[in-house]
Structure 1
Amino acid sequence: MIISDRNVLVKLIQQLRATGNRIVFTNGCFDILHKGHVEYLRQAKHYGDILIVGINSDTSVRKIKGEPRPVMPLESRLAVVDALKFVDIVVPFDEYTPVELIKLIKPDVHVKGGDYHEDELPETPIVKQFGGKVVIVPLVEGYSTTSIIDEIRRPYGVNCR
Structure 2
Amino acid sequence: MTDLPSLPALTDKICGRANVLARVAQLPRPLVFTNGVFDVLHRGHVMYLAQARALGASLLVALNTDASARRLGKGPDRPLNNEADRAFVMAALASTSLVTWFEEDTPLELIAEIKPDILVKGGDYDMRKLAETRVVESYGGRALALPFADGYSTTALVRKIRQG
1:60 correspondence with 2:68: yes
2-side partners of 1:5 and 1:59: how far apart? Answer: 15
- State the partner residue of 1:112: 121
How far did residue 48 of structure 1 move? 0.5
How far did residue 119 of structure 1 move? 1.1
1:11 correspondence with 2:22: yes
1:96 correspondence with 2:105: yes
User: Alpha-carbon deviations, 1:47-85, whole Å to 9, x = none?
Assistant: 110100000000001000231110111111000011001
User: Alpha-carbon deviations, 1:87-132, whole Å to 9, x = none?
Assistant: 0000111110010110111010000110111112121111111211
- State the partner residue of 2:130: 121
1:143 correspondence with 2:123: no
1:51 correspondence with 2:63: no
> The residue matched to 1:111 in structure 2 has which SS?
strand
- State the partner residue of 2:35: 27
User: Alpha-carbon deviations, 1:4-33, whole Å to 9, x = none?
Assistant: 043x221232343xxx62111000000100
2-side partners of 1:46 and 1:85: how far apart? Answer: 11
Q: Show structure 1 runs of 5+ residues with no match.
A: 156-161
> Is contact 2:17-2:102 (8 Å) kept?
no
Residues matched between the structures, number: 151
2-side partners of 1:36 and 1:95: how far apart? Answer: 25
2-side partners of 1:127 and 1:67: how far apart? Answer: 32
2-side partners of 1:153 and 1:41: how far apart? Answer: 27
Q: Show structure 2 runs of 5+ residues with no match.
A: 1-12
Give the counterpart letter for 2:81 in structure 1. M
> The residue matched to 2:32 in structure 1 has which SS?
strand
Q: What TM-score, normalized by structure 2, do the two folds share?
A: 0.88
How far did residue 148 of structure 1 move? 0.7
> Is contact 2:120-2:146 (8 Å) kept?
yes
Structure 1: 4+ residue segments shifted above 2 A: 12-16
